[in-house]
């Protein structure tokens, strides 16, 4: 079933207003929270750490702690709300079982966000990381009935990568994410695994591609696991594992692109979502190649984080908010321009780690990031806030009737 149909069908007649509010409005709320966190994590913490690293700002004893704050915010307040919100919204359709998730699952996102804020405000407290782990692992547990009753190919194509990703996100919160290789390991296991699973649905549903065959899915899982092991080898300082990780990551991604007929994107680049997928997977391959040398860890991390994940989040969020609200966040040309401008930001930040650009170029890159992120976040808010206001009125009215 196409992703463009997810949950809209479920909002039909015979469903109470309260049930509609609880069951079909996850994405819009947590996309906004994720967007706000992305602005803070990128424009405040990210640029501050970047400019300290480049010598524009003075490096002091807070550098590592601010770098950790930046990485933690991007993982658990930016990417995680987008990923969990999308999975909670769409999992019953993606598992192809039609089984509703337990109602308690809808509490996972707000608890995760509160736990992440606790971790940022009190990084020495164990409470925040423990709650995040419980939420990520709890969502994996909530998916278990759908996973067990799904077809074997769905388990292979979607269920296994998603559950591996959620378990990794739950464990990764205890890593020192201020160290680039730790963040790379978490990104590969926790983010890339979920992107490879859900990306097939977009490619097959709305972008003219197809879902991977069982043989291709099996190959991807083996290559993916081997690459994760190689990144652990890099983390432990074992010689030659950087070369292995680069080869295995590249093979995983190339298998994905070939098996899903991703070349179909080339005929649809006037569509913002297709252009986002096109740009993102170029960056995915660039980041994989950068693993060839351990010293490129920071560059590889930002190729994947800014070029791969962030580009996809911009494209997918604009498409899903448009579908949910029946309003276009950005006109087609504006979205294409913003996505292309974001590639300049990704290029400057990634390759500055390798070559060290002039301060003037870095300021231009930071200014471009401000333009893109402010335009993107404001467009999401413009579409989503009226919907949230309407839903709040329904909820309050329904609650008042029940009390009467």
CA distance 2 to 377: 26
**Per-block mean pLDDT, blocks of 10 residues, the chain (404 long):** 40 47 54 83 92 88 90 93 83 80 80 92 93 94 90 92 96 94 96 94 90 94 97 93 97 96 92 95 97 91 96 90 77 89 97 93 96 91 75 72 70
Q: What is the model's pLDDT at position 61?
A: 81
State the Cα–Cα distance between residues 24 and 98, nearest whole angstrom. Answer: 14
> Are 159 and 143 within 8 A, CB to CB?
yes
pLDDT at 21: 47
Measured in degrees and rounded to the nearest 5, phi and psi for residue 74 equal -65, -40
| Sequential DSSP letters for 225-240 | HHHHHHHHHHHTT-TT
Torsion, Cα of 285, 332, 78, 94 (10° steps): -80
Distance of CA 197 to the CA centre of its chain: 12
C-alpha span between 200 and 220 (Å, rounded): 13
Q: Which residues contact 155 (CB under 8 A, 6 or more apart)?
A: 147
Looking at the chain, the number of H-run helices and the number of E-run strands are 19, 0
For the CA atoms of the chain, what is the radius of gyration?
A: 20
Residue 320 has phi, psi (to 5 degrees) of: -70, -35
Nearest 5°: the CA angle 331, 334, 336 is 110
Return d(Cα 138, Cα 166) in angstroms, integer: 9
Domain ranges of the chain: 3-403
**What CATH topology corresponds to 3-403?**
Cytochrome C Oxidase; Chain A (1.20.210)
Q: For residue 183, what is the enclosing H or E element?
A: helix 180-186
């Amino acid at each position: 079933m196409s992703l463009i149909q997810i949950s809209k069908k479920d909002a039909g007649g015979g469903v109470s207003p309260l049930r509609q509010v609880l069951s079909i409005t996850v994405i819009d709320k947590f996309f906004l929270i994720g967007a706000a966190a992305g602005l803070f994590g990128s424009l405040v913490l990210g640029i501050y750490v970047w400019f300290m690293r480049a010598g524009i700002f003075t490096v002091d004893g807070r550098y590592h702690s601010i770098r950790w704050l930046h990485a933690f915010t991007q993982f658990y307040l930016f990417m995680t709300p987008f990923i969990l919100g999308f999975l909670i919204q769409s999992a019953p359709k993606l598992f192809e079982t039609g089984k509703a998730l337990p109602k308690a699952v809808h509490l996972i996102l707000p608890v995760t966000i509160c736990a992440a804020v606790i971790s940022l405000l009190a990084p020495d407290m164990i409470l925040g990381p423990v709650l995040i782990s419980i939420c990520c692992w709890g969502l994996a547990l909530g998916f278990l009935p759908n996973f067990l009753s799904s077809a074997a190919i769905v388990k292979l194509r979607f269920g296994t990568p998603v559950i591996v990703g959620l378990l990794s996100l739950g464990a990764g919160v205890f890593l020192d994410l201020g160290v680039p290789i730790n963040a790379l390991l978490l990104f590969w296991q926790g983010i890339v695994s979920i992107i490879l699973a859900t990306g097939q649905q977009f490619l097959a549903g709305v972008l003219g591609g197809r879902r991977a065959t069982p043989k291709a899915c099996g190959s991807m899982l083996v290559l993916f696991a081997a690459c994760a092991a190689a990144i652990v080898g890099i983390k432990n300082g074992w010689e030659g594992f950087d070369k292995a990780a680069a080869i295995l990551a590249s093979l995983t991604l190339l298998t994905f692109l070939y098996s899903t007929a991703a070349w179909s994107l080339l005929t649809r680049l006037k569509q913002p979502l297709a252009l986002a997928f096109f740009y993102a997977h170029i960056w995915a391959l660039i980041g994989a190649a950068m693993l060839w040398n351990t010293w490129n860890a920071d560059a590889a991390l930002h190729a994947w984080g800014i070029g791969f994940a962030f580009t996809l989040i911009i494209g997918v969020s604009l498409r899903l908010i448009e579908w949910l609200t029946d309003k276009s966040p950005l006109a087609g040309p504006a979205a294409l321009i913003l996505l292309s401008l974001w590639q300049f930001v990704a290029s400057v930040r990634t390759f500055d780690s390798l070559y060290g650009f002039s301060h003037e170029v870095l300021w231009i890159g930071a200014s471009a990031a401000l333009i893109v992120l402010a335009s993107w976040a404001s467009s999401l808010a413009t579409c989503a806030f009226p919907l949230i206001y309407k839903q709040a009125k329904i909820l309050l009215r329904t609650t008042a009737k029940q009390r009467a």
